[in-house]
Amino acid sequence: GSQIASLYPCSNASRQVLNLSGFWDFRFDPGDAGLDAGWGAGFAPQRPIAVPASWNEQFEEALDYLGPAWYQTRFILPWGWSGKRVRLRFGSVNYLAAVWLNGAHLGEHEGGHLPFEFDAAPYLRAGENLLVVRVEGELAPDRVPPGRIPPDPRDDFPHRNHPDTSFDFFPFCGIHRPVVLYATPRDAITDLTVRTELEGTTGLVRVRLDRTPGDGATARLSLKGHGAEVAEEVSLSGETAEIELTLPDVAPWSPEAPNLYELAAELSRGGEVFDRYSLPVGVRTVTVEGDALLINGEPVKLRGFGRHEDFPVAGRGLVPPAVVKDYALMRWVGANSFRTSHYPYSEEAMDLADRLGFLVIDETPAVGLFFAEEGLGRRLQLCRQYVRELVARDKNRPAVILWSLANEPHSKRPGAKEFFRELYGLTKSLDPTRPVTLASMHEEADEAFEFCDLICLNRYFGWYTEPGMLEEGFARLSEDLDAAHARYHKPVIVTEFGADALPGCHSHPPEMFTEEYQAEMISGYVRVLEEKPYVAGQHVWNLCDFKTAQEARRVGGMNLKGVFTRDRRPKLAAHRLRQFWNARHDED
């Protein structure tokens, strides 16, 4: 089976990465014949496909096709890899992946947006190797996110999407992030877990190193940067070492100054280094105190966006220039934060958040959860798996300041309470250093809020309610937030607010779907939010327009709540936000 992936593969004096991205062979399998026909051992090529990318916008007949489909590629084993520990790692496959290497079934993985890996060494051959992946992205009520939820008989005007998602973004399918093969020594570092603290001007960096079982060795850890270099060594007989490094006069990591140190880990025996791995480390703390969210002991206000990984043609596939562009747009507008709505974003994108100093609410793929008994156990198992995979992947990132367990679960239902008690407990046991939350649409009595360190609300007064009536919407927002704060006594982040605007559509006075209405709505919300001392964050929905399933509310197959279009051109609201947020920055 697949295993949890943590350290991002790298090349250095002990390790090497072979990136398998490129054009692969591809075929759709609408009759699901491939398994019985033994395509895992190889299939007749039909057409090329780009990896990584979704298949839906690469082929015009496949927009709504959710699988199964088959991918295969051939590669030559690099020189010097025999006798190494070799792993095959997928950054993200939506939704189900089954993997064969040279005809041997390596295993399967369920769930998109998170990395997984396999031990490849036993199946590799010198010379040419054949890798086959079957991908399937059907929507089903016992998957997470769920789809094709049985209609509620109490609902007399049932509203459906095509494809039948429990969320509005398009359920893109395919191999979405790089597939790499990487070699390490057999005797290797397998994980590093970094926790940082500040004591006055001193930074404490606690590192846990995990390694494969092996003979005694020496572990050396060093931290370098900002004019400092410190190192510690311990001798290691078991599989883990805990080491604390101290940085006097530390340069802490913050959004204003995203200072990073290089943490270098080395394993040696008899003075000879046999494995090494380096990691950027930001020394910072995150705490919730009373009504405030604190970074390094100072209150911080999040200004930014909910987003999607969504770009023309590539779908949900990694597009490095679009990643850079989106950070540039957020910067230009004056944002310091975003949420990885509604699933974890690529590791490549997260690396840039660490470097550029963005504060990230890191969300699991649990969007649209419902709590009917049927399939509930399975959905909980998947959510537990996602939390494990996400924390393993992102635990060392200074940019990640909050874990979000879900988006808009239907959590007024009784079953929700136990569900979130478990997920919250699991998350805290894996990472006691970060606050935990979830984004809710409910006005009150959300069963899940009991297990949140701060409250995240998605709000659309003046849009889905009070349509066309902005002033009424703003008044209701203000009351609603005060009520939520009075009930829970925790800081509040408004993780969504916004309006659809068709670019180029104008009106005065502002009417729904015009650029003016969107700009007025966002401005009014920002004014209300800036006045509430307990509001720790404001995230506009959305940075960019994004592709949706088809439904009556989504014009042209898109959610138009972006302040930028899908091809990243600003709407009026982007200019307006820029005035607000940049002006506020000057005051800070």
Annotated catalytic sites, by residue?
Answer: 408, 496
* Residue 447, phi then psi, degrees to nearest 5: -55, -30
Cα–Cα distances in Å, from 1 out to 39, 106, 107, 449? 19, 6, 4, 35
For ligand GCB (CB under 6 A), the number of binding residues is: 11
HSE-up of residue 500 (Cα within 13 Å, Cβ side): 17
In terms of CB distance, is 292 or 555 closer to ligand GCB?
A: 555
Burial label for 142, CB within 10 Å (0-12, 13-18, 19+), is middle
Cβ 498 to ligand GCB shortest distance, Å = 7
The SS3 assignment for 518 reads: helix
- Taking CB under 6 A as the criterion, the residue among 4, 228, 372, 441 binding ligand GCB is 441
Cβ 167 to ligand GCB shortest distance, Å = 6
Instruction: Write each residue from 239 to 278 as x if it is in contact with ligand GCB (CB under 6 A), else as -, in one continuous string.
Output: ----------------------------------------
Cβ 408 to ligand GCB shortest distance, Å = 5
In terms of CB distance, is 301 or 539 closer to ligand GCB?
A: 539
In terms of CB distance, is 54 or 407 closer to ligand GCB?
A: 407
- Taking CB under 6 A as the criterion, the residue among 72, 254, 440, 559 binding ligand GCB is 559
Cβ 561 to ligand GCB shortest distance, Å = 5
Cβ 303 to ligand GCB shortest distance, Å = 19
Please tell me whether residue 555 binds ligand GCB under the rule CB under 6 A: no
Interatomic CA distance for residues 308 and 170, integer angstroms: 10
In terms of CB distance, is 266 or 545 closer to ligand GCB?
A: 545
Cβ 541 to ligand GCB shortest distance, Å = 6
C-alpha dihedral sign at 450, 452, 455, 459: negative
- Taking CB under 6 A as the criterion, the residue among 166, 407, 437, 565 binding ligand GCB is 407
Cα–Cα distances in Å, from 85 out to 17, 217, 471? 12, 18, 63
Cα–Cα distances in Å, from 170 out to 64, 308, 554? 9, 10, 11
* Strands 189-199 and 53-54, sheet pairing: unpaired
- Taking CB under 6 A as the criterion, the residue among 21, 458, 514, 518 binding ligand GCB is 458
Cβ 50 to ligand GCB shortest distance, Å = 27
Burial label for 195, CB within 10 Å (0-12, 13-18, 19+), is middle
Burial label for 213, CB within 10 Å (0-12, 13-18, 19+), is exposed
Interface positions, 43-62, toward ligand GCB (CB under 6 A): none
Please tell me whether residue 337 binds ligand GCB under the rule CB under 6 A: no
- Taking CB under 6 A as the criterion, the residue among 339, 395, 561, 576 binding ligand GCB is 561
579: Cβ–Cβ under 8 A, 6 or more apart, which residues?
none
Interatomic CA distance for residues 337 and 301, integer angstroms: 9
Partnered with residue 458 across adjacent β-strands are 496
C-alpha dihedral sign at 427, 433, 438, 443: positive
Interface positions, 495-514, toward ligand GCB (CB under 6 A): 496
The SS3 assignment for 309 reads: coil
Q: What is the DSSP letter of 213?
A: S
Nearest residue (beta carbon) to ligand GCB: 458
Cβ 319 to ligand GCB shortest distance, Å = 21
In terms of CB distance, is 203 or 462 closer to ligand GCB?
A: 462
Q: Which long-range contacts (CB under 8 A, 24 or more apart) does 474-480 make?
A: 474/524, 474/525, 474/527, 474/528, 477/525, 477/528, 478/528, 478/532, 480/443
- Taking CB under 6 A as the criterion, the residue among 39, 311, 449, 541 binding ligand GCB is 541
Please tell me whether residue 516 binds ligand GCB under the rule CB under 6 A: no
Cβ 493 to ligand GCB shortest distance, Å = 14
In terms of CB distance, is 393 or 539 closer to ligand GCB?
A: 539
In terms of CB distance, is 389 or 496 closer to ligand GCB?
A: 496
Neighbours of 70 (CB within 10 A): 24
Neighbours of 371 (CB within 10 A): 19
Q: Are 143 and 366 in contact (CB under 8 A)?
A: no
Cβ 194 to ligand GCB shortest distance, Å = 32
Instruction: Write each residue from 184 to 223 as x if it is in contact with ligand GCB (CB under 6 A), else as -, in one continuous string.
Output: ----------------------------------------
In terms of CB distance, is 161 or 184 closer to ligand GCB?
A: 161
- Taking CB under 6 A as the criterion, the residue among 168, 310, 354, 545 binding ligand GCB is 168
In terms of CB distance, is 193 or 407 closer to ligand GCB?
A: 407
Q: Return the residue matching tokens 């004019």.
A: 227
- Taking CB under 6 A as the criterion, the residue among 167, 274, 327, 449 binding ligand GCB is 167
In terms of CB distance, is 167 or 182 closer to ligand GCB?
A: 167
User: Which stretches of the chain bind ligand GCB, using CB under 6 A?
Assistant: 167-168, 342, 407-408, 441, 458, 496, 541, 559, 561
